[in-house]
Structure 1
């Protein structure tokens, strides 16, 4: 059984991974923006997709396999650094 500190560290690592996915997706979106015909639609679609991925990731952290409900707030704070 994992200790509370191990769960918090794992939650932090997962949150940082989600943060990388989110901001890398944003970087790729902005980089591709000049070549796209419908820029507003591209930005909106990217925003929705990135937020769906992040919501699914935080749901998996808090309620998935090896759920860490105690660490959700700590994970959210790591994401917002």
Structure 2
């Protein structure tokens, strides 16, 4: 997209987050140190931009590990009339 850049924040561990397309006329100059600009998303060939880390020079594909709470939520629990529960993983 002509005159648009993909601007996103970079977490302290290098993970990209809070990204979106911005017209170059409204971009801050200089850019805050925790943000980067990408001309396009051709370097993002798998997953979402949040699956990438920025090492200061290039993007590295590194999907985040699922959080333990998210894993626990994936388990199904069946409750019986007698008050017992069965958990399926």
With the length of structure 2 as denominator, give the TM-score of the two structures: 0.22
Q: Which has the higher contact order (CA 8 A, sep 6+)?
A: 1
Q: Name the one with the larger strand percent.
A: 2
Q: Name the one with the larger helix percent.
A: 1
Name the larger-Rg structure: 2
